[in-house]
Amino acid sequence: MADCIFCSIANHDIPTDPIYEDELIIAFNDLEPQAPVHFLVVPKKHIESIDAATEDDSELISHIMLTIPKLAAEQGLENGYRIVINTGDDGGQTVKHLHFHILGKRKMTWPPG
């Protein structure tokens, strides 16, 4: 999708400094971090939100979920972390491309904002 910022990052049209990349996903630090460690994991395939994911995306979603703990460990999140998937306007999704926020190195509160 030409006007999607995360597609542009995944295609290297917009430069970023990835903390991880493979053929399916790219991970990079959030530009407006909400915790001492805050990075995003983004599928290279454009999927608008978790609501738009299909059975065909199950291997991709599984790959993301199995990669996140490895990246969290590499980022020093030994005391835990939070994974956030914002979905839709009421869920706070501002970029219409599925992405996973990983936040850590601070105590998380509940309920979240």
* Catalytically active residues, by annotation: 99
The helix or strand, by DSSP H or E, that contains position 108, with its residue range, turns out to be none
Write down how long the chain is. 113
Amino acid at 113: G
| Residue in this structure with the two tokens 């904002």, named with its chain if needed | 113
User: In the β-sheet with 20-21, what is the strand arrangement from edge to edge?
Assistant: 20-21, 25-29, 37-43, 100-104, 81-84
Of 30, 20, 16, nearest in space to 103 by CA: 30
Determine how β-strand 81-84 pairs with β-strand 37-43: unpaired
